[in-house]
Amino acid sequence: MNSHAEPRLLNRELGTLAFNRRVLAQALDATIPPLERLRYLCIVASNLDEFFETRVAQLQDLEEHDAAATTPDGLRIGEALRLIADDAHALVAEKYRVLQQSIYPLLESIGVHFVTSGQWTAAQQRWARAYFEREVLPVLTPIGLDPAHPFPKVLNKSLNFAVQLEGADAFGRNVDLGIIQAPRALPRVLALPRELRDRRYGFVLLSSLMQAFAGDLFPGLKVLGVHQFRVTRNSELFVDDDTITNLRTALQGELRARHYGDAVRLEVAAGCPQPLLERLMRENALRAEDCYQVDGPVNLARLQSIIDLVSDHELQFPAHQPALPADWPGPGPALFERIRAGDLLLHHPYDSFGPVVDMVRAAAVDPDVLAIKQTIYRAGSNSALMEALIDAARAGKEVTVVLELMARLDEETNINWAARLEAEGAHVVYGVVGFKCHAKMLLIVRREKSGRRAVQLRRYVHVGTGNYHMRTAALYTDFGLMTADEAICADVNQVFVEITGSSQFAPLRRLWQSPFSLYDKLVHSIRNEARVARAGGRARIWARVNALVEPGVIDELYKASKAGVEIRLLVRGPCMLRPGVAGLSDNIRVRSIIGRFLEHSRIFHFHAEGSSEVWLSSADWMERNLFRRVEIAVPVLDRKARAKIIEEGLRVHWRCPGNAWDMDAAGNWRRARAWRSGRSSQLALIEARAAG
């Protein structure tokens, strides 16, 4: 291990697993409604899927090509993978203990009962068989393994069953193993008819049907055992920057291949015989540490459908109605007057995302609007905002959409939107090859006349920390700023010109931009606080990001801490910085907020010799965001808006510890002091909006 790196940096992947432990702790919190506790468990399962598909897959690739390589914290790749596997196995075991010992009993207590095949009554048995024969059997394709039918390469994260068999088939072939892949269209959780339940809600898992009736797929053979398994594959997309001529076409080809990437993890239900387990590992070229035997369904994320099937609001968080600004005029020309009168700051989901949609809808039908430009990273498959852009293009507006096709796991959705936009005449640009466009920007150009002055063109901008995604805007905390400030508007326009055209980077008046200036400006601001502290002045850095893993930024924060700068960091996920190390980071505190909403905002606040600078950004403090993406940070110029961000985005999370975790120098996370008696910061903000 690199002795220099060890005390300065923590491991990123272990930090990601630690974040999921904090989420899993929510599933054990008795103050949280039952269905929400189930949701947290499912979130952890889904997060771990992506963790293996991306982070573990990348490390395994690196180990294969350069076994001597090291991670930023100084570990050799092989050693890092072993530590990650140990920690992941412990987390997965804990996840299933929570399922069996907490979530299942909790669901039973509220009348939600899972009926396994061994518990079926005669009537339930008849219903189950009829359902299997009508809805399941016709879409299944059993594969009996023999020299002509080798082990199939099953789809990424698909539910599969290994069926142990005995006997000879119709052709006289001895068959000892069959594989059945459950199509993704089949629901994994089935609601029992009301008349067959003895509880308020009754459910049967698809795996129970397969366990009971798998023999129907291999008539004449004896079924010795049916075992669930699931393979997670490398989901990174490879697009060769040097050879592609059409990114969309190249990406569509890669998306088809994603489902069959190299295996990185095997999940098997407990009780699978060791010889079969070894065969599954061998067929997928996996090692023992890559195999996870689990006490329950192999895909816990699918249990989230129970929340919709039960649909009892008393078992979920109380309904939250985002607030509209008191002076918001709605979707019409008056909203441009409102923005021109002064900046408007929105804090989602406490404030409604509606004004952002209104802005695009108004622009689509306003005869004075000439052009709309917008970046889209994630929008979802069902989006009123995207429909408004299509309406604008259909109405003859100049619509330019920078649509990031490489948005992980949203590529197919974005390709579909691109096709629809282009069909209506919109200009669709797929970002910059090699630099994902992650900036959140909307620019509207409007023709206006003011008094006796001649008609002029005026620009309006929305910039934010989160995606233009209406569903996540109700679940993620993000800030958005609407402004007509000419310098900010000119900068946003310049960024669009760089992306859509071909030009050299021109210094911006207001914005910081990755990959050109954001890192340097950030470092300059940190160093400025250190300079003030060394001179005996008051110096402060408060920031909020989703991840802090860029070594250069971390080193600058260490230097600032040594100089005496007060540093408070809200880091939702992985953090490689060690806080509270004597002589290195004495003045740094790190806190993570885990609650009802996913903390997603990026805020940089510098004391700046009393001028109190506040920046909103799309960029986390990660190498990819600072050097390999198109990102922006925008200054908040309005005094009231700055105060709102400092209070609602930063201070409240240090004042209200009910959903806070604090990190120590070893990278361990513990509940903040007085968390049980402390108020949740998110609840405080919900109540503040409700009170008006």
Q: What is the pLDDT of residues 636-646, one digit of tens each?
A: 999 999 999 99
pLDDT, position 408: 65
pLDDT, position 148: 61
The residue among 415, 194, 443, 255 whose CA lies nearest residue 339 is 443
pLDDT, position 151: 86
Domains 12-315 and 335-507 share a fold: no
pLDDT digits (tens, 9 = 90+) for 34-76: 999 999 999 999 999 999 999 999 999 999 889 899 999 999 9
pLDDT, position 678: 77
Sequence length of the chain is 692
pLDDT digits (tens, 9 = 90+) for 559-617: 999 999 999 999 999 999 999 999 999 999 999 999 999 999 999 999 999 999 999 99
> How much of the chain exceeds pLDDT 70, in percent?
94
Give, rounded to a whole angstrom, the gap between the first and last alpha carbons of the chain. 55
- The Cα 339–Cα 458 span in angstroms is 12
For tokens 């412990």, the residue is 90
Write down the mean pLDDT value for the chain: 91
pLDDT, position 259: 56
Over residues 350-364, the mean pLDDT reads: 96
List b or e across 653-668, with b for residues whose CB sees 16 or more CB atoms inside 10 angstroms. Answer: bbebbbbbbbbebebe
Q: Is the pLDDT of residue 305 over 50?
A: yes
Over residues 356-372, the mean pLDDT reads: 96
Q: Is the pLDDT of residue 674 over 80?
A: no
Q: Is the pLDDT of residue 437 over 70?
A: yes
Q: Two tokens at 238? A: 């490879």
In contact, 411 and 473? CB cutoff 8 Å: no
Q: Is the pLDDT of residue 258 over 80?
A: no
Identify the residue with better confidence: 679 or 504: 679
- The Cα 682–Cα 680 span in angstroms is 5
Least confident of 1-10, 331-340, 625-634: 1-10
For tokens 């015989």, the residue is 273
Over residues 153-177, the mean pLDDT reads: 86
Least confident of 180-189, 313-322, 447-456: 447-456
CATH number given to 12-315:
3.30.1840.10
pLDDT, position 5: 41
Q: Is the pLDDT of residue 171 over 80?
A: no
Identify the residue with better confidence: 311 or 266: 266
For Cα atoms 358, 362, 365, give the angle at the middle one, nearest 5 degrees. Answer: 145
The amino acid at 336: F
pLDDT, position 241: 43
Domain spans of the chain?
12-315, 335-507, 513-690
pLDDT, position 79: 95
pLDDT, position 301: 93
Q: Which of 3.90.1150.10, 3.90.180.10, 3.30.43.10, 3.30.870.10 would CATH assign to domain 513-690?
A: 3.30.870.10
The residue among 691, 599, 603 whose CA lies nearest residue 643 is 603
List C-alpha distances in Å: 433 to 165, 201, 248, 518, 628. Answer: 50, 51, 11, 20, 10
Q: Is 612 left (phi over 0), alpha (psi -120 to 50) or beta?
A: left
pLDDT, position 243: 41
pLDDT, position 409: 62
Over residues 205-229, the mean pLDDT reads: 92
The kind and range of the H/E element at 687 are helix 681-690
- Three-class secondary structure of residue 607 per DSSP: coil
Least confident of 47-61, 409-423, 623-637: 409-423
Least confident of 78-82, 150-154, 485-489: 150-154
Least confident of 145-159, 205-219, 317-331: 145-159
- Three-class secondary structure of residue 409 per DSSP: coil
Over residues 616-642, the mean pLDDT reads: 96
- The Cα 11–Cα 667 span in angstroms is 9
Q: Is the pLDDT of residue 2 over 80?
A: no
Over residues 171-189, the mean pLDDT reads: 87
- The Cα 408–Cα 237 span in angstroms is 9
For tokens 């089949």, the residue is 186
Query: Where does 535-651 have alpha helices with state H?
Result: 551-563, 623-627, 639-645
The kind and range of the H/E element at 414 are helix 411-423
| pLDDT confidence bin for 261, thresholds 50/70/90 | confident
Q: Is the pLDDT of residue 629 over 60?
A: yes
- The Cα 207–Cα 116 span in angstroms is 9
User: Which top CATH class is 335-507?
Assistant: alpha beta
> How much of the chain exceeds pLDDT 90, in percent?
77
For Cα atoms 55, 58, 63, give the angle at the middle one, nearest 5 degrees. Answer: 125
* Own/partner pairs, 614-619, CB within 8 angstroms, 24+ separation: 614/642, 614/645, 614/646, 615/512, 616/463, 616/464, 616/465, 616/479, 616/481, 616/645, 617/465, 617/512, 617/518, 618/438, 618/439, 618/440, 618/464, 618/465, 619/438, 619/514, 619/518
**C-alpha R_g of the chain:** 27
Q: Two tokens at 599? A: 């903390």
Residue 672 DSSP code: P
How many other C-beta atoms lie within 10 A of the C-beta of residue 631?
Answer: 28
Over residues 205-225, the mean pLDDT reads: 91
Catalytic residues: 438
| pLDDT confidence bin for 184, thresholds 50/70/90 | confident
pLDDT digits (tens, 9 = 90+) for 453-488: 778 999 999 999 999 999 999 999 999 999 999 999
- Phi and psi torsions of 657, nearest 5°: -90, 10
The residue among 618, 614, 593 whose CA lies nearest residue 605 is 614
Cβ-based neighbours of 391, under 8 Å, separated by 6 or more: 361, 364, 365
